[in-house]
Structure 1
């Protein structure tokens, strides 16, 4: 009867621990990236003096097995911040702190004072894959400014009407090596008595200062080979630009309507960092005010041979004691999911299932306590019999 009492106590202990796990799941219903645990109860049997899960001895009760994490994906919720990251599919974000690696499914990230991308309010740094395929944190401090690039070529396109006497392409913005901008105006004129295939090209700056004058010639509606590229320079301000008429430029009769335009202008001014986040390829990308972008590298994603070997910590962070169990990939790999900006993964706790488990744990505890109560009554009856 004492043995029955201990068996009942094992049930009360197991279900008490089960209630702890169910309670933890329910209270983390709204914790981002939280992975719920599954209840697994195992029977105990005795074999000689040892306790094991199987054996030829008598039953010794029940225990709550080691907690098994449920790694099914939670809902991906839209956010306003491009530094909110989540994974659509398999894998974990790789974080680094003081030389140790940690893992997370999702997180609100921010830029710290040293330029590192860190989990908000912590020192966990997001890692990117370097050229050797290793995960390392990267600072954006050296990339906060986009260096200017001088304009070297303006590609013109469309038709310069051979029936008109003049046309102007205004406000062609160009840059010098210092990022200083200038708006050039390009005037095309011809005399009515001049051959219709020759045009005088006059370039002036925003102050009506003449930059240069050259001749653009057409033959059968196409620029001649010797005038397909015309160079205009302003040595004082550091501008030297090639006007390229070699592709898609024509001069056919279209009344007084010309559609000639500067289709492509290279070069840009200095740019300030505007936004940063992960693009569709899982690459961390910086965008600047000058419409340029810089890629820092692919976000590192980790997978594990045995996901149950990792341990969940506070703040949606996981740890893994065996580094040999980890494999690293980029988001472009088919073996992992996609990293998404402006997303946060919600908890994967299913409330209805947890309420069901709550009832089962309660009934199990109640039944086990009845075993203890009956065993106690039987022992008490035995004492009373002995007294008689």
Structure 2
């Protein structure tokens, strides 16, 4: 039985050594982005075959020692730390980002992404493509190659706001930048001149181009300081540039007395030139979005998030990536769904390792190892004493 005690003590040394390895891995990854720590547990061994073949088993099923339990990952969310990259993504909630690697589907809680040479958004340093939700709510990869350029849109409307003083004789709104269908920008000037020959508050609006050539002249009238509906929308066309633009004065333009001071301005000019991609990021709704140099944005679709009924079916791989190694139910959802949380741009999830917990486990493991080594030492002393008795006999 003393030999059995040695083997039981050895099982403790082996188990606590492996437990120390788990704690060491947790502590070493204290600052690893997206790392999920594993808890350390121990379980007793009884019956034949216990202790990995180390222990001697009694007929009554006496204890055979101890072994380290299978470490279970803690999926408690780590701190979301701010970064300066639009494609540093994390999930504020329970969901997992979906990564596509050929026929394989992998998962991640956070990661630094980039656009590769093929135009796909991939996890930095890998070929794992970030997935968005397709029309059938299944994850699909996407490429931005066909959307690197934002096509131009011709200007069709210029909207005006504020007051054109009835006490002034003239006023000019300059630097009206309008764009033709080919993306070329033209600068117009709108000159307002009081029509002295007309009864009431009437103005002649003359539009000229950058060279001073007249585009057209239209009449603008006010009644009681409010723009006359019949003249609230005036059209100006430049056939050579292919432009047909409506000047809209219906959005609250007034003409009250303000001395000679007018505040009339162009509040909105639609249309824009061609643009190139300036950024890729997720918006507040968790959708991937392209930004262009012309101020336009294009929605590429919702970032796919996976919701697992049992995250314990996931195995942690290198680089903060998880793979589902055993059967388990999961659903693919958009970040607007409360079951998965929200995709956050410019955020990286820190490790969830609790250092105080790890140091507590470290002390317990150390004490367990010391106690197990003492069992081996005492058992060895008893066996030596027994050999000494036999020698005296």
Task: Give the TM-score normalised by structure 1.
Answer: 0.94
Aligned residue among 267, 270, 274 for 1:266: 270
Aligned CA distance change for structure 1 residues 148 and 197 (closer, same or farther; 3 Å): same
Once the two structures are TM-superposed, the CA of residue 291 in structure 1 deviates from its matched residue by 1.1
Cα distance in 2, alignment partners of residues 4 and 81 from structure 1: 59
Return the alpha-carbon distance in structure 2 between the equivalents of residues 51 and 364 of structure 1.
19
1:81-100 residue pairs with structure 2 within 5 A?
Answer: 81-100=85-104
Instruction: Please give the root-mean-square deviation of Cα atoms over the aligned residues, in Å.
Output: 1.7
How far does residue 322 in structure 1 lie from its aligned partner after superposition?
Answer: 4.4
Work out whether residues 82 and 342 of structure 1, in 8 Å CA contact, stay in contact via their aligned partners in 2.
yes
Note the alpha carbon deviations across 1:55-100, whole angstroms, 9 max, x for none: x832111111111111112222111111111122211111111121
Residue 126 (structure 1) shift: 0.9
Does residue 351 of the first structure (1) align with residue 355 of the second (2)? Answer: yes
State the Cα distance separating 1:247 from its structure 2 match.
2.7
User: 2: distance between equivalents of 1:302 and 1:78?
Assistant: 23
2:246 corresponds to 1:225 = no
Structure 1 CA distance for aligned equivalents of residues 197 and 179 of structure 2: 37
Once the two structures are TM-superposed, the CA of residue 244 in structure 1 deviates from its matched residue by 1.3
Residue in structure 2 matching 1:275, options 274, 279, 282: 279
Tell me how far apart the structure 2 counterparts of residues 162 and 151 of structure 1 sit (CA, whole Å).
Answer: 29
Question: Contact 1:272 / 1:290 at 8 angstroms: preserved in 2?
Answer: yes
Q: Does 1:172 align with 2:171?
A: no
Name segments (4+ residues, structure 1) moved above 6 Å: none
Residue deviations 1:199-250 (CA, integer Å, cap 9, x gap): 1110001111111111122233333333222111111111110111223122
Match of 1:304 in 2: 308
Q: In structure 1, what is the Cα distance between the partners aligned to 2:231 and 2:77?
A: 63
Q: What's 2:372 paired with?
A: 368
Question: Taking structure 2 as the reference length, what is the TM-score of the superposition?
Answer: 0.93
1:9 paired residue number: 10
Closer, same or farther: CA 139–19 of 1 in aligned 2, 3 Å = same
- Which of 216, 221, 230 is the aligned partner of 2:220? 216
Other structure's SS at 2:13 match: helix
Structural mapping, 1:130-209, within 5 Å: 130-209=134-213
1:176 is displaced (CA, Å) by 0.9
SS of aligned partner of 1:203: strand
Corresponding position of 1:289: 293
Measured against aligned partners, the alpha-carbon deviations of 1:161-201 in whole angstroms (never above 9, x if no partner) come to 22221111111111111111111100111243432322111
| Distance in 1 of aligned mates of 2:211 and 2:106 | 60
Q: Distance in 2 between matches of 1:346 and 1:35?
A: 9
Residues 89-121 of structure 1, C-alpha deviations (whole Å, 9 max, x = no match):
211111111121111111111110001111111
Residue 325 of structure 1: how far off its partner (Å) = 1.9
1:50 Cα deviation after fit: 6.5
Cross-structure match for 1:237? 241
Of the structure 1 ranges 256-265 and 236-245, higher mean CA displacement relative to structure 2 is found in 256-265
1:51, distance to aligned residue in structure 2 (A): 5.3
Provide the secondary structure at the position in 2 that maps to 1:368: helix
Partner of residue 22, structure 2: 21
CA distance in 2, matches of 1:186, 1:60: 95
- Distance of 1:359 and 1:253 partners within structure 2: 84
CA contact (8 A) 2:200 2:223 kept: no
Count of aligned pairs: 383
Is 79-88 or 344-353 further displaced after alignment? 344-353
Please state how far the C-alpha of 1:307 moved relative to its aligned partner.
1.2
